[in-house]
Structure 1
Amino acid sequence: MNAPAASLLLELAASGAPFALISRDAETIEVLTGDVHDVDLLADIPLHDCTGAPREVLALVPFRQVRERGFACHDDGAPLRCLVVADHIALPRAEVLAGLPATPIALRDAGFDIDDESYADIVRRVIADEIGRGEGANFVIRRDFTAEVDADPAVAALTWFRALLEHERGAYWTFAIVTDGHVAVGASPEAHVSAREGVVTMNPISGTFRHPAGGATAETLTEFLASTKETEELFMVVDEELKMMSAVCSDGGRITGPHLKEMSRLTHTEYVLRGRSRLDPRDILRETMFAPTVTGSPMQNACTVITRHERAPRGYYSGVAALFTPRADAGAPKNTDAGTASATDAAPTHDLDAPILIRTAYLADGHLRVPVGATLVRHSDPYGEVGETHGKAAGVLGAIGAIPRDRVAEEAALAARADAVDEDEPAAEPRRLADDPEIAALLASRNSRLAAFWLNPQASAPDGPLRGREAVVVDAEDRFTTMLAHQLRHLGLDVRIVPWHRVTADDVRDAELVVCGPGPGDPRDPASDRMRRMREIVTERRASGRPLLAVCLSHQILSDDVGLDLAPLATPHQGLQKTVDVFGMPASIGFYNTFTARVAPGTREVGDAEVAADASGDVYALRGPGFASVQGHLESILSRDGMVTLERLVTHALTTAP
């Protein structure tokens, strides 16, 4: 290593000054130094100096920031920590590796804070008490690997950073962030959100294949890719992140993929979502807190469920490390006070790159913590989810010496590299499993189940009878409403979203079309203020004769108002795709429901409502004078016939009102 680079690392370790090392490509290590400022809100992240000039900031965003969106959490007071960058240099990766310490750091009293059997019990309770009661489609519950460490924190950070660079592959960011009293070292596989030159990108990753001893092969991966549970898990998180994209992007977002994320001990499946936005990157970050892959869906209720079932605060786990970089074409914003930039100001002054804080080791006051979680869905096997937490922790724990590394797989990878190149050429990466034709075909086949609306460029709103009509969409605490609103706009409507507790009497009475949206929970719950208010809105609007569309939870409430029975399903339909008859037309629709309206088999009418139901009597849709409803989520990526069905139901509501 050259002397200046070597001396820089030694100075960083000895100085006590804050610094960050980041690897985002195979060639360089970025070194960031500067001053630390802790702030209260994302809007307070100091992107500009006192003159209004933009500056670079690396922010550690803790999970507790979900309070900014009004969501529940165990509040541990973890600071929103900002490293205001004074110097940012790039060093050759090989030279940095050669200069980093390699002596293993000793650990004491190492182990999980929640034993395997207790974690399996938590999984069972979440499936039965949360998913089984309609509180959501999936939830991520964590546990922590903990140990005591006597080493100097900065030396430990540099040592673990080197180990992750050497032994973990496929990471989006490998990093070490050292500030006073706190160290974070990780190899995050997942970019939560980025914003570059007006293009917002999200990267939902879900489905976890734990490599067998000796490494993954095409044969062992094939069974994983054919798993219904793993496939639906990925579709559900894509739906959840599209909700966020629809909130921050004018074009709602498109999905590409699926792809494989291949790492040392795990392989994940992933999609990439892209859309355009002029929002301040701090606003984008706020509206996307946090990834459903580490929380669950719907997001607001997932935070409540996490608070019920996790024993302690999350700290920075499932938050983000957010690097705000001044754009070359950016000047000062119109108003340089913190948090004032918005979509109505000039173009954003900063780009954003924000990986999720997972696969990360935290060190504070000699206490090491490596949090890991599993995504719990209706198909989850408790002991399978226990194994998933072990697998997710293994990359970090193997690197830091807490568990043995899979040396057989590492040696095989090294041998593959050696065989792939000539002696005088640099070593090549081993062949990716995604390049196998059978694996590529299995991945591509997944998209045949998905809605073309979210896969293809979205056409402009048609010049038809719906253009210019006005709609109020009532948000019942599920941001599927943002996707629904986006689709309604593509049908030509002017749409405004209003939270359930802010809907006024004027909205209910005067809106040209009211769309009552989906939400979590039991529609029969008499103690819920949200259910009571949604019932009032649906009942009053139907009684007025003015056009009404009701979706999922609101469909169930409308069904009750019509006089139908409500009952829990024997098995929740969370992330389930079904082809059902919707008034004489078969429709492939995605379902996220635990409860259903039910009629006697063969029933086609109840009062003034026409009923679309299956042979068992489960009701999928209603329509009558001025109203229509649907149990499924026409906005979901699982609804291949979502747009045409939505247009049919909206047109019916608007054209049959008295």
Structure 2
Amino acid sequence: MNCQVSASQALQIISEHETSYALILRQATPDYIDLLIFDASTVEDTTQIATDDEATKLVLLPYRSIEERGFSAQDDKQPILTCTVSQHYVTDRDEFESLVAGPIGHVENFEFDISDAEYADIASASIVEDIGSGLGSNFVLKRTLQGTLSDSSNASLLGLYKRLLQREAGAYWTFLVSLEDRVFLGASPERHVSLHDSIVAMTPISGTLRAEGRRPTTREVQAFLADQKEADELLMVLDEELKMMASLCPEGAAVIGPRIRRMSNVVHTEFEISGRTSANIGRVLRSTLLAPTVVGSPLESATRVIHKREPSPRGYYSGVVALVEPDGCGGQSLDSAILIRTAEISRYGDVCISAGSTIVRHSDPDSEAQETRAKTAGLRQVFEAEASLDASIGQAMTVRRAVVSDFWLKSTTERALNRHRFSGRTCLIVTAEDDFTHMLAVLLRSLGFYVDEQPALDVDELPADRDLILFGPGPGNPENKTDQRIVSLHRLIRSALLQRRPFLAECLSHQILALELGLPIARLAQPHQGEQIELPLWNRQATLGFYNTYTARSLTPFVHSNPARHVRAILHPDSEDVAVLSGTAFASTQFHIESVLTHNNDWLLAELIEGVLSRSETRTTKKVDRGTSVPIS
């Protein structure tokens, strides 16, 4: 039970526990500040965090926690901090601000660890070498602002916290965590994950308008909302977090938004996603390590790019600060924020503020460097309170929402209306290091399938007891025979063709299928990473989401394909790029059926499956029809 105390009592309690307290202003309770007194300890991994007792805990996860998922990170030995709360108070925010006084330190000689030009060079290299080679669609690369605080006393820290409260009104959490060896002071705009009454929720934020310490004009916000690069960034991270939610919520997550979030120096766009789960807090935390909004997509590949590109370890930047507490009903609840817009202050006064920018295929490297400046500025500059949105901005947000898949905007009840279509059928998803497969599983379940997933490297033979096999997407070059994941997919898809097993293949697996059928693969001059493209499919215009650097091409109408004859291809209009392949017992797509960029996801998937399960051999024709079926003999 939280005890309410006056601000003067709160300050007295803090004075008695200067290296073991936390102050948290949460978006859900904007008039009150949580004051936590705790005993801090460290653990090696999240499995050692006891989340099954009745104690309240404050947990800080460093970036290297992502290694628990088998992903890459520079190991800087930063520990997982677990703070067992012995006293939990709440105090009035206005009264607290009025009573906090005393000296406030200032930072001297603020400098970035790498210059604007150096950061731009790193971003340029990533665009060409990482995105350009198909390693992923977006990567968040950070740099760090460093300086020295002239006064790191507790009175000074409280003064800085007060100033942050007054200047940064758009945060999800505004917090001060004081430990024996360091202090975290931050105003994070982004919820990492929450869990209340079996409802798990995340708030992916991306797309940035630099406000430079002022309120942007309506015209500036409208231009920001119309910027395709900014829209792409948000939709890509929405896709990535829906993957995470799909692994926790069998029926998937519902999407609300987009919305605007104003900070002192930047304006962001965000979605809210939520779903019902049976997972406990420990599993929720582990399954969401870490937010794609601060890492990239696909997540596993992005961690390797970060390891290669960033000059120094991340420490706690992009990690998580989480509060686990009893829910009053015999269970526990979880609330957490991403450790961004956060200063880490040593007891010697050393200050580090890290910020990253999302690098996509059409990023301007110099502009991305300036974005990191704007994000770090929010801890130090004057903030103007959020005002009501101009009506025209609301209309622009409606336009943004219109590009999002209707399936993910539906409730789980609405999604279940088509469950009868394939009720009782079974499907194995063969995964290839892209958690888009979790979203595919949600789609399949909504159509009535029983679904399980297995990595390609772990599949020796295709199981005989599945009605359908789905070979999933993943990063990489489909012709890279040094990658055992690619080799395994070639072997399994070749086997499925020879056995005439009903199967689907998507993106990377679609390209591998094309190679097995004798089609050439080409690297795109401009990758389609997170790009929404309209194509005519089956006598209707379809809006489709693409995440590819490589493409199969049908250079002639006829290609020999001994394992599967009478193959049809649907091509992009005015090009030889293959969007869809279909044969007697299979179909494949270059686009991502499950993506928020793809409309009518469930209809598209059902059409493909029904064709695979019921298709008889089609008659060969000789005409290449742009945007329609093209037989390949």
TM-superposition CA deviations, 1:574-618 (whole Å, max 9, x none): 111112233554321100000000012666996431111123110
Q: Which moved more, 1:32-41 or 1:170-179?
A: 32-41
Q: Does 1:443 align with 2:393?
A: no
CA distance in 1, matches of 2:180, 2:111: 26
Question: Which residue, 488, 491, 507 being the options, matches 2:447?
Answer: 491
State the Cα distance separating 1:31 from its structure 2 match: 0.4
| Residue identity opposite 1:9 in structure 2 | L
RMSD: 2.0
Q: Does 1:648 align with 2:631?
A: no
CA distance in 2, matches of 1:214, 1:361: 22
How much has 1:651 moved relative to structure 2? 1.6
Q: CA deviation at 1:16?
A: 4.2
Give the whole-Å Cα distance in 1 for the aligned partners of 2:497 and 2:255.
36
Contact 1:582 1:621 in 2 (8 A): no
Distance 1:299 1:444, change over 3 A: same
Alignment of 1:543-622 (within 5 A): 543-600=498-555, 607-614=565-572, 615-622=574-581
CA distance in 2, matches of 1:635, 1:6: 54
CA deviations over 1:438-480 (Å, ceiling 9, x no partner): 0000001122222211112233253655221111001100000
1:460 aligns with 416
SS of structure 1 residue aligned to 2:132: helix
Could you tell me which amino acid in structure 2 is paired with residue 23 of structure 1?
Answer: L
Q: List aligned pairs for 1:192-271, cutoff 5 A.
A: 192-212=192-212, 214-271=214-271
- SS of equivalent residue, structure 2 residue 74: coil
> Contact 1:153 / 1:363 at 8 angstroms: preserved in 2?
no
Partner Cα distance (2:150, 2:455) in 1: 50
Q: CA deviation at 1:11?
A: 5.2
Return closer, same or farther for 1:256/1:544 CA change in 2, 3 Å cut-off.
Answer: same
Does the 8 Å CA contact 2:296/2:358 hold for their aligned counterparts?
Answer: yes
Aligned ranges for residues 65-464 of structure 1 at < 5 Å?
A: 65-152=65-152, 154-212=154-212, 214-330=214-330, 349-366=331-348, 367-396=350-379, 398=380, 405-406=381-382, 413=384, 431-432=387-388, 434=389, 436-457=390-411, 458-460=414-416, 462=418, 464=420
Q: Residue 43 of structure 2 contacts residue 80 of structure 2 at CA under 8 Å; is this kept in 1?
A: yes
Deviation of 1:365 (Å): 4.6
2:419–2:445 contact (8 Å) kept in structure 1: no
Amino acid paired to 1:503: V
1:9 maps to what in 2? 11
| Partners of 1:601 and 1:616 within 8 A in 2 | no
- Of all paired residues, the percent bearing the same amino acid is 37
Residue number in structure 1 paired with 2:626: none
Distance 1:236 1:513 in 2: 28
**Aligned: 1:633 with 2:569:** no
User: How far apart in 2 are the matches of 1:3 and 1:353?
Assistant: 22
Matched-pair contact (CA < 8 Å) for 1:602–1:617: no
Give 1:35's aligned residue. 39
- The equivalent of 1:479 in structure 2 is 435
TM-score (norm 2): 0.92
Question: Aligned pair in 2 of structure 1 residues 306, 569: CA closer, same or farther (>3 Å)?
Answer: same
Could you list the per-position Cα deviations for residues 404-436 of structure 1 after superposition, in whole angstroms to 9, with x for gaps in the alignment?
A: x35xxx5xx5xxxxxxxxxxxxxxx6532x3x1
Whichever residue aligns with residue 104 of structure 2, its letter is P
Rounded Cα–Cα distance in structure 1 between residues aligned with 2:571 and 2:287: 37
Distance 1:43 1:517 in 2: 29
Amino acid at match of 1:598: R
Aligned partners of 1:220, 1:319: CA distance in 2, in Å? Answer: 32
Q: Matches of 2:56 and 2:459 in 1, distance apart?
A: 41
Note the C-alpha offset of 1:13: 4.4
SS in 2 for 1:192: coil
Give the letter aligned to residue 497 of structure 1: E
TM-score normalised according to structure 1 size: 0.88
The structural deviation recorded for 1:657 is 8.0
Q: Give, as a single letter, the amino acid of the residue that structure 2 aligns with 1:187.
A: A
Aligned residue type for 2:371? E
In structure 2, how many angstroms separate the alpha carbons of the residues matched to 1:117 and 1:257?
Answer: 36
The offset of 1:236, in angstroms, is 0.6
Distance 2:119 2:15 in 1: 38
C-alpha spacing 1:603/1:231, structure 2 compared with 1 (3 Å): farther
**Deviates further, 14-23 or 166-175:** 14-23
Residues 313, 153 of structure 1: alpha-carbon distance in 2 compared, 3 angstrom cutoff: farther
Q: Does 2:23 match 1:21? A: yes
Aligned to 1:346: none
| Partner of residue 477, structure 2 | 522
**Do the aligned residues in 1 keep the contact of 2:436 with 2:473 (CA within 8 Å)?**
yes
> CA 1:189–1:213 in structure 2 vs 1: closer, same or farther (change >3 Å)?
closer
Check conservation: 1:157, 1:184, Cα contact below 8 A.
no
Query: 2:55 maps to which residue?
Result: 55
- Name the aligned partner's letter for residue 433 of structure 2: E
Larger mean CA deviation between 151-160 and 573-582 belongs to 151-160
Residue 5 (structure 1) shift: 3.7
Q: 1:540 to 1:601 in 2, by over 3 A?
A: closer
The 3 A distance-change label for structure 1 pair 40 and 657 is farther
The CA distance in 2 between the partners of 1:639 and 1:380, in whole Å, is 23
Shift of residue 152 of structure 1?
A: 3.3
The SS at the match of 2:444 is helix
Partners of 2:510 and 2:164 in 1: how far apart? 50
Match of residue 425 from structure 1: none
* CA deviation profile, 1:473-527 (whole Å, cap 9, x unmatched): 01100000000011011111111011222223253x5432110000011111121
Q: Is the 8 A contact 1:265 1:394 kept in 2?
A: yes
Q: Distance in 2 between matches of 1:19 and 1:278?
A: 32
**Structure 1 CA distance, aligned partners of 2:153 and 2:22?**
13
Residues 146-181 of structure 1: per-residue CA shift (max 9 Å, x gap) = 112353353443232111011111111100001111
Structure 2 counterpart of 1:608, one-letter code: H
How many residue pairs get aligned? The number is 605
Any conservation in 1 of the 2:340–2:355 contact (CA below 8 Å)? yes
The SS at the match of 2:378 is helix
Structure 1 letter corresponding to 2:342: T
For 1:475, the aligned partner's letter is T
Contact 1:131 1:138 (8 Å CA) reproduced? yes
Distance 1:443 1:3 in 2: 41
Pair 1:37–1:213, CA change in 2 (3 A): closer
Following TM superposition, by how much is the alpha carbon of 1:369 offset from its aligned partner in structure 2, in angstroms? 0.3
2:184–2:343 contact (8 Å) kept in structure 1: yes
* Distance (Å, rounded) in 1 between the aligned partners of 2:538 and 2:517: 18
* Structure 2: gaps of 5 or more residues: 618-633
Q: Deviations over 1:215-266 (max 9, x none)?
A: 3121221111110100111111111111111111132001011111011221
